[in-house]
Structure 1
Amino acid sequence: MRRRLVISYLLLMVLVLLALETPLAATLATRETDRVRADRLADATRFASLAGPALRGGGSGPLDGELAAYDALYGIGAAVVDRERRTVVASSGWKPDEGAGPALDTALSGQQFSGPESVWPWDSGPVVTAVPINDGGEVLGAVVTTSPADGVRRSVTVWWLLLAGIGLLAVLACVSTAFGLAGWVLRPVTELDAVTHEIAEGRRAARVRPRLGPPELRRLATSFNHMADAVSDVMDRQRAFVAHASHQLRNPLTALRLRVEELGPSLTDPDGRAEHRLALEETDRLATVLDALLTLARAEREENQRVTVDATATAASRVAAWLPLARHREVALRLDATDAPVYAWTVPTAIDQALDALIDNAVKFSGAGGEVTVTVRADGGGTVLTVGDTGPGMTASQLDQATERFWRAPDAQNVDGVGLGLTIAAVLVDASDGRLTMRQGEPRGLVAELWFPAPAPGPPEVVAPPEVAGPPEAVGPPEAVGPVWR
């Protein structure tokens, strides 16, 4: 935009200079030409006053010497011509073929002639003047001079170069002023653009300095800051509400579960015991939903601190944690990675929680006899973790909806889960500037791929992976079940 503004200012300046300097240049050329023409007419008039005796046949008198001295001193050819166009007296520099014909015709008709009107730098002809010689009202002949126009052309050229220099200085001053003015006008716009990108990248504390640029843009910057403050406050209130609501709901939920558990020994009717078991399962399901909401609220916070994580060690820790559940469900869970560490630059626990969600899904849907493979490798300037299974997979339309909150596949409505696991994983991966992609496996199953950027060069300060703990269904009570997806 700055370039466009400068070009528009420059174009306007050039047009103004052309409008001013073009007529001025023409006026200067005409003025220099008129000065020379006036001098030549005065000289020719003087010679005409001396030409009377020569035309009456009484000899040239002093005219011959005057013309010779004039030619020798100024290099201007002059001649006296009678009414029959015969040359009576002429200097050595006289050349009758240099445009003297029209001038002689005008002079013999009784009028003075001087031309051209203006001498331009590219012209090559002389300045021609012709004055009639009168005697008692009768035209006896004419005095014609041909003056080289080199001096006039040089003067005009010098004036034009001076005008061009002044115009160039004006253009340079205009460009310098235009850059300064454009920078002053666009500085708040540039800062507004930069701050908008910072806020889009998660740095919600970024603000525009409101004291830059013209008043209109200062008001825009102030309004933008107010809007950013309002949006940030609304987002904080929303996340605080989710976190507080989830936390507050756990207290009555825990009390409800304890009371339902106390009712268990007093139930003797088989139907009552079944209803009691279903009530406990529903409280566990509600606890899982609340835990997932708390995790999602924490994952969406603006403070996205980055740490260096050994992806190989973290993947090994999570595979070891889920291995008992995989054996219980008769699913082969294995890790495909080298012994060398592969580092990733992520927000804390991003790899842990994302792998938990993906492995939980893969083990859950692979079924007895299925296989789940977790691979870790360095690729594309970052770290890639892949979780592949041999389950039924997803259709293309289901893959497009998989990251939506509380979404579950139609054929998985009766499977444990609340539909927030993949949402949490996607938020954590996005906060780490990573990518989460899913595709159909070959020949069947689902392949989920996580990509995280590599840390900056230098000795990494690695955050140790969490201690290995078994999955909820293998080592703890039902209410400890972590978030799942699908």
Structure 2
Amino acid sequence: MRRRLVISYLLLMVLVLLALETPLALTLASRETDRLRADRLADATRFASLAGPALRTDVTGPLVGELDSYDELYGIGTAVVDRDRRTVAESASWRAGPGTAAALDTALSGLQSSAPDSVWPWVDDPVVVAVPINDGGEVLGAVVITTDSERIRRTVLAWWLLLAVVGVVVVVACVLLAFGLAGWVLRPVTELDAVTHEIAEGDRGARVQHRWGPPELRRLAASFNHMADAVSDVMDRQRAFVAHASHQLRNPLTALRLRVEELGPSLHDEEGRAEHQFALEETDRLAQVLDALLTLARAERAENERTTVDAGAVAASRVTAWEPLARRRDLTLRLVASDDPTYARTVPTAIDQALDALIDNAVKFTGSGGEVTVTVRRSGGGTSLEVRDDGPGMTVSQLGQATERFWRAPQVQNVDGAGLGLTIVAVLVDASGGRLTMRRAHPRGLVAQLWFPGAEPEPTTPSDVPEAVGS
């Protein structure tokens, strides 16, 4: 946008310069030409006064001497012709040039003539002036003077070059001023754009400095800050409400489950015990939903600071924790990772919770005899964790909806779950500056891949090193 503003200012300045300098350049050329023509007409008029008696008496000696003296002094050719266009007298450097015949026609008709109207640097035609020789109202002949236009062309060109230099200086000054002005005008917009990206990336405390720029943009920056404060406050209230509601509902839900559980011994018929078991399962499912909502509310908080963790060690601990359930369901759960530490920069517990959700889904939806593989490796300047299963997988459209809150695939509606697991994973990964990608595995199954920014191990302080114990 700054470039477009500068180009607009520059285009406007160039148009103004052209509007001012073009007439001035034409005026300078006409002025220099008029000045030369006036001098030559004055000289031609003096020669015409001397040529009248010479033409009457046919005594041209003194006239030729005057013309030669003028030619030697100024280097300008002059000729005197009679009414029959015969040359009566001429100087040594006289040469008939373009426009001489037309000038003579005008002069012999009793009028002064001069050409051209203006001398241009690229036209090398001489300046021709002619005046009639009158005696008692009768035209006896004409005096013609031709002047080389090189000197006047150099003068006009020098003026034009000066105008061009002045124009270039003005344009450069305009460009510098335009950059400064555009920067002053656009500074609030630039800061607004940067702060918008910072807020979109999770820094809800970012605000625009509204001390610079035009008043309208300063008011816009202040309004944006006010809006950001209001939105941040609303989001904090919403998350606090979800967290508090989830937490507060845990107690009555726990009490309700205990009461429902105590009703079990009093139920003797088979149908009543089945309904009792359904009630217990629904309370457990509601407890899972509340736990997931509480986890999601905590994960979305922007104040979470990032820490350096060993992704390989965390993955190993989570695989170990899920192995009993996998064996119970007749699944193979294995870890593929190098022995070297693989560090990542994430928000606290991001890898733990993300792997729990992904392994839970993989174990839940993979049939008996299947295999779930967790792979940890370095990739793209960061750390990649991949959970691959050979279950039913998802369609392309389902992969696009998988991270939506409370969304569940139609074929798994009867499977336990709240539909928030992948949503929590996406929020944790985004808060860590990473990315979550899911794709279909071949020949079947699903691949969920986590990527987190890489990190170096945090240096240990002396207090972290255990003291040596003497023997």
Counterpart-to-counterpart distance in 2, 1:283 and 1:235: 29
State, as a whole percentage, how many aligned pairs show the same letter.
78
Equivalent residue runs for 1:78-117 within 5 Å = 78-117=78-117
Deviations 1:221-243 (A, max 9, x none): 11111111111111111101100
Aligned residues: 460
Residue type at the aligned position of 1:421: G
TM-score (norm 2): 0.92
Does the C-alpha gap of structure 1 residues 97 and 185 become closer, same or farther in structure 2, counting only changes over 3 Å? closer
CA RMSD between the two structures: 2.0
Deviations 1:60-101 (A, max 9, x none): 242222111100000011122111111111111111345321
Does the C-alpha gap of structure 1 residues 412 and 61 become closer, same or farther in structure 2, counting only changes over 3 Å? closer
2:183 corresponding residue in structure 1: 183
**SS at 1:51 equivalent:** helix
Match of 2:458 among 451, 455, 461: 461
The structure showing larger relative contact order (alpha-carbon pairs under 8 Å, at least 6 residues apart) is: 1
TM-score (norm 1): 0.90
2:247 corresponding residue in structure 1: 247
Counterpart-to-counterpart distance in 1, 2:274 and 2:414: 18
Equivalent residue runs for 1:39-438 within 5 Å = 39-263=39-263, 274-438=274-438
Residue type at the aligned position of 2:25: A
Q: Which moved more, 1:36-45 or 1:47-56?
A: 47-56
Tell me, which stretches of 5 or more residues in structure 2 are unaligned?
461-471
2:24 corresponding residue in structure 1: 24
> What is the deviation of 1:303?
2.0
**SS at 1:373 equivalent:** strand
Residue type at the aligned position of 1:380: G
> What is the deviation of 1:266?
5.8
Could you tell me whether the CA contact under 8 Å between 2:99 and 2:115 is conserved in 1?
Answer: no
Could you tell me whether the CA contact under 8 Å between 2:125 and 2:149 is conserved in 1?
Answer: yes
> What is the deviation of 1:441?
2.6
Could you tell me whether the CA contact under 8 Å between 1:53 and 1:61 is conserved in 2?
Answer: no
> What is the deviation of 1:276?
4.5
Deviations 1:179-216 (A, max 9, x none): 11111111111111111111111111111112221121
Residue type at the aligned position of 2:289: V
Could you tell me whether the CA contact under 8 Å between 2:97 and 2:146 is conserved in 1?
Answer: no
Does the C-alpha gap of structure 1 residues 285 and 157 become closer, same or farther in structure 2, counting only changes over 3 Å? same
Counterpart-to-counterpart distance in 2, 1:348 and 1:244: 21
Does the C-alpha gap of structure 1 residues 278 and 129 become closer, same or farther in structure 2, counting only changes over 3 Å? closer
Q: Which moved more, 1:400-409 or 1:420-429?
A: 400-409
**SS at 1:49 equivalent:** helix
Does the C-alpha gap of structure 1 residues 86 and 252 become closer, same or farther in structure 2, counting only changes over 3 Å? same
Counterpart-to-counterpart distance in 2, 1:2 and 1:34: 47
Could you tell me whether the CA contact under 8 Å between 1:403 and 1:426 is conserved in 2?
Answer: yes
> What is the deviation of 1:390?
2.6
Deviations 1:282-341 (A, max 9, x none): 332222211111101011111242222211111110011111121222222111112112
**SS at 2:88 equivalent:** strand
> What is the deviation of 1:269?
6.2
Counterpart-to-counterpart distance in 2, 1:33 and 1:399: 83
Counterpart-to-counterpart distance in 1, 2:293 and 2:146: 103
Counterpart-to-counterpart distance in 2, 1:358 and 1:334: 14
Does the C-alpha gap of structure 1 residues 97 and 324 become closer, same or farther in structure 2, counting only changes over 3 Å? closer
**SS at 2:57 equivalent:** coil
Residue type at the aligned position of 1:394: M
Counterpart-to-counterpart distance in 2, 1:165 and 1:446: 71
Counterpart-to-counterpart distance in 1, 2:79 and 2:269: 147
Does the C-alpha gap of structure 1 residues 153 and 396 become closer, same or farther in structure 2, counting only changes over 3 Å? closer
Could you tell me whether the CA contact under 8 Å between 1:309 and 1:462 is conserved in 2?
Answer: no
> What is the deviation of 1:52?
2.4
Residue type at the aligned position of 2:458: E
Q: Which moved more, 1:311-320 or 1:140-149?
A: 140-149
Counterpart-to-counterpart distance in 2, 1:24 and 1:411: 84
